[in-house]
Amino acid sequence: MSESQVKAESNGMNVSATPLFGFPKVAFSANLFGELAEQGVARAQEGCEKIKAVSEEMAEALRESYSSNAKSAGDYGLKVIEISSANTVAAIDFFAHLLGSKSMTDVYTLAAEQARKTFDAASAQNKELWDLTQKLAAETSEPIRKRVTKSLQQAN
């Protein structure tokens, strides 16, 4: 037995003196294979635990996002109903005043006033709806952004 074979066998490997394609034959001991398998299993379990933790974080973020979205969407819907009601009352008032007009000059004056009021009201209402839309978007995306950032930091 050569000196390299004795050293290899003392390290738990059995090396043949006959090379195969220029490489010596190496037989791994059961002990070495078992250690490699245990390391692989440990790494796989660690990876699974990380994936599970990230999945739970994302599920919680989606729950928070959904809850926030539902509240903001409800607020938006209520604002639309409030605006519709105000616009209906304004239109009925306009028609009531229009019916009480005595001349064409009164009709033109009322129509011009109504047009100005309607334009001002629509501008203010659109701004309110736009603000609610921005709030909804921010509140919906914020929990997800926080959780994704936290998960990415934990993964590293």
Q: What is the chain's length?
A: 156
Question: Which of 58-67, 116-125, 132-141, 142-151 is the most confident on average?
Answer: 116-125
pLDDT reported for residue 91: 94
What confidence tier does 156 reach under pLDDT thresholds 50, 70, 90? low
Q: Give, for 17, the enclosing helix (H) or strand (E).
A: strand 13-20
Q: What CA–CA distance (Å, rounded) separates 9 from 63?
A: 59
Q: What is the mean pLDDT of residues 47-57?
A: 83
pLDDT band for position 15 (50/70/90)? very low
Residues 57-77: pLDDT tens digits? Answer: 888 888 888 887 888 888 899
Q: Report the mean per-residue pLDDT for the chain.
A: 80
pTM of the entire predicted model? 0.57
Token pair for residue 3? 């000196």
3-state secondary structure of 11: coil
Which pLDDT score, from 0 to 100, does residue 42 have? 85
**pLDDT in the model for residue 108:** 93
CA-based end-to-end distance of the chain: 49
Looking at residue 155, its pLDDT comes to: 63
Q: How many CB atoms lie within 10 A of CB 147?
A: 20
Give the whole-number percent of the chain exceeding pLDDT 70.
77
Model confidence at 116, in pLDDT bands (50, 70, 90)?
A: very high
